Amino acid sequence: MSFLNIYIPLIVPIAIMKQEKSYQITLTGKEPLSEETLLEVQGVKGVSLLKHDPQQGTLLVTIEDRRADDAAEILQEVVELIRRAGGKVLTEKVIHPVLHMTCAACAASSQNILSFVPGVLSASVNYGNGKGQIEYLPGIATPDAMKQALQEIGYDLLTEEEESSFKKMEERQEENYRTLRLHTILAIALAIPLVVIGMFFMHAPFANIAMWALATLILFLFGRRFFVGAWKQARHRSANMDTLVALSTGIAYLFSLFNMLWPQFWESRGLEAHVYFEAAGVIIAFILLGKMLEARAKGHTSDAIRKLMGLQPSTVTVFREGRASEIPIAEVMVGDLVLVRPGEKIAVDGEVTEGSSFVDESMISGEPLHVEKSRGAKVFAGTINQKGSFRFRAEKVGKDTLLAQIIRTVDEAQGSKAPVQGLVDRIAAVFVPVVMGIALLSFVTWLLLGGENGFVYGLLTMVTVLVIACPCALGLATPTAIMVGIGRGADEGILIKDAESLETAKKVDMVVLDKTGTITEGKPQVTAITWSLDATPLHRDILYSIEQRSEHPLADAITAELRETSTLLDDVNILQVSGKGIEGTYEEETYYVGNMDYLTSKGVVIPADLMQQLYLEMDAAHTVSLFANREKALGVVGITDKMKPSSREAIAQLQEMGIAVAIYTGDNEKVAAALAKELGVTEYRGGVLPEEKAELIKKLQQQGHTVAMVGDGINDSGALAQADVSIAMGSGSDIAMDVAKMTIISSDLQRVPRAIRLSQATVRTIRQNLFWAFIYNMIGIPIAAGVLFPFTGFLLNPMIAGAAMALSSVSVVTNSLRLKRKTF
């Protein structure tokens, strides 16, 4: 007894500890987790032990054995607490194709399964494009674990690299489509004699046996997929469209088989033993036809990705060790010298080193004019060389090229979900069980109230309800429109990062524009540099050296003006003051470059002659930069930035659409006023610091406006983040995809109203799709249940219900594809 008393308490905890499982989370934040955060995490139900290693940046979470099944949920809560406290966690985000989905309920089911894999933080599965976006903790969750979890319930996951995964999915879709088409053709071929016998020769000898043979082939050979899918769902206590199809056709088939084998059961009761083999067979044939048409139509929603991926050549000519050789594009390395011949596609991003030509960049930028390329010019993967020939040095290859970024952005955006999709997902999750309940209720109602034919009518209505209910149309309504809309945007040179911004853009009633690079070309040029009488050649060299080290957009213009007449000094140090100017030091003397307010704040005196020149430049709507030492200004630099030809037309279009336009610029008030007057804009602000733009946008939002901010995506990052819709004007590899929700690749301002019109058309299409999907089910299901029978004697034929169900999905996809033909 004493032995047990001493050792059992020691043994049991050890045994329990052995069964507990630990998960290591990698932290990426610079600061270690606070004691308060660790206490919060320790308080999560199911967490038995925490071990935080600040040096290694890890957090070891041990979960109690009795809560092992809840590991995924516990880890999600732990990561949420860390993030809420300001901590950062190392995660990976991937997009993988999810296979074998047949309806929206499948997407909801596979999404739930993925969410239950320990280490998966979030999963979003899109039935429209057949892909899942997954964020997970590396080292805890793996793509193979997710794949295995999905395979157990009848789905699958493609886990190869992005490019090969897309190709692999395309190959599988093509293979599945060919199989589906063959099965559809054969099922229809058998269904035709089945219907003929059932309608015209039902009393002929051996008619029932012939119909049974034909229906058996259709159901269990060509319709086998529905029964296999339903069985896999049933094993996991789940249901989807396969369940509805298998139940409806299976019940009709078994009932008919019973009547064929034991007709005396009904005949002894004075009833005829009807068979419904033709209904079961034709339903399968119609649904296969609908699935085939749906698959064909859905294939066109991925045309944008397919087109973008087709821009990249498979091979490329490179010079290595002085010899030209043709190699696969996957083998190109940074630094390789690449030859581009007339008519060839450019394989990777780089800089021209020799030769010249004109390049068609329309497939990326949307601009129809060919762009001249000579030594020092940037070239981008996917663009097409014209008549000339040149060589360039590879700078970005593989996934780093602009084309690869665009493909990735479009792919992610097409897989994202619009806010309205949340409601649809919730409905789809309960749709199949509710339909099964309605079908059972209709059967029971007819059985109790239908008189002598109650059983037969009840059976028919139950089958018809199960057949006509279509979760596919609901599931396809939003994602197909989003996919086509985002793909159409890519064709127009408008990169849309997610479905939410596409939906929100429709509501925009105020567009805030930055000036440089948005309204103007972003290529400033110096109009004049006026020096004071006290200025010396050394001051010219100091200004040149300060600007040479500056990252300000205007610095390039000043250095270009001074390059031929100035010397670059080595020991010049600078300090950039965001939105105000630059402070530089040379030989212990301090110099300032910036606007008048900045120099005034430093106590700098501006001589009368320079002040006069300053006002002359301002009156000409030029940007003015002053150069000074600690005591007084030494020079005035006038800079102009030519307005884009399309800016005036773009602003006019926005105003015609009823959208107010505001200009907020860091330039002085006079420049802002002159520009606003020229463009017919009444709302403008000059001298606005980057951080002030965000505050101004917040005020507009507080007044009830839905605001779109259009800027360069870098200096305006705060304002872009604050806006309801953020649009970055990008060009070439400087495109600010990570900052904004939308990116105008060509920097053409006319694409802003085009993007808003695209949003309006896409949202309108989504609403149309949802309306018809809901109306179809709201009207179709009650009619299928027999609500019209007491008034008109009408009962819907299950075969007609099958045709209606098949066409509902096709109509939704076809309506979405109309966006491809619209002009914006």
Q: Which residues are identified as catalytic? A: 514
Q: Among residues 87, 85, 84, 94, which one has the least CA distance to residue 137?
A: 94
User: In which region does residue 732 sit, left (phi positive, over 0), alpha (psi from -120 to 50) or beta (all else)?
Assistant: left
Print burial letters for 468-505: b (CB count within 10 Å at least 16), e (below 16).
bbbbbbbbbbbbbbbbbbbbbbbebbbbbbbbbbbbbb
Residues 6+ apart with CB under 8 A from 466: 244, 245, 247, 248, 251, 435, 436, 439
Strand 337-340 vs strand 315-320: parallel, antiparallel, or unpaired? antiparallel
User: In which region does residue 522 sit, left (phi positive, over 0), alpha (psi from -120 to 50) or beta (all else)?
Assistant: left
Q: Which SS3 state, helix, strand or coil, does residue 568 take?
A: coil
Altogether, the residues listed in the chain come to a count of: 824
> Hey, how many other C-beta atoms are within 10 angstroms of the C-beta on 564?
6
Residue with the two structure tokens 């051996």: 206
Q: Among residues 823, 820, 766, which one has the least CA distance to residue 504?
A: 766
Q: Among residues 304, 91, 288, which one has the least CA distance to residue 189?
A: 288
DSSP assignment string, 631-644: SBEEEEEEEE-PBP
- Strands, E assignment, 116-204: 120-126, 131-136, 156-157
Strand 683-685 vs strand 660-664: parallel, antiparallel, or unpaired? parallel
Q: Which two tokens stand for residue 586?
A: 């040379």
Q: Which DSSP category does 204 fall into?
A: S
Q: Which two tokens stand for residue 403?
A: 């084309």
C-alpha 485/C-alpha 365 separation (Å) is 17
Q: Which DSSP category does 109 fall into?
A: H
DSSP assignment string, 287-332: HHHHHHHHHHHHHHTTHHHHHHHTTS-SEEEEEETTEEEEEEGGG-
Q: Which SS3 state, helix, strand or coil, does residue 13 take?
A: helix
Number of H helices, E strands in the chain: 29, 28
Question: How far are the Cα atoms of 99, 379, 625, 771, 793 from residue 778, in angstroms, in the given order?
Answer: 30, 55, 67, 10, 20
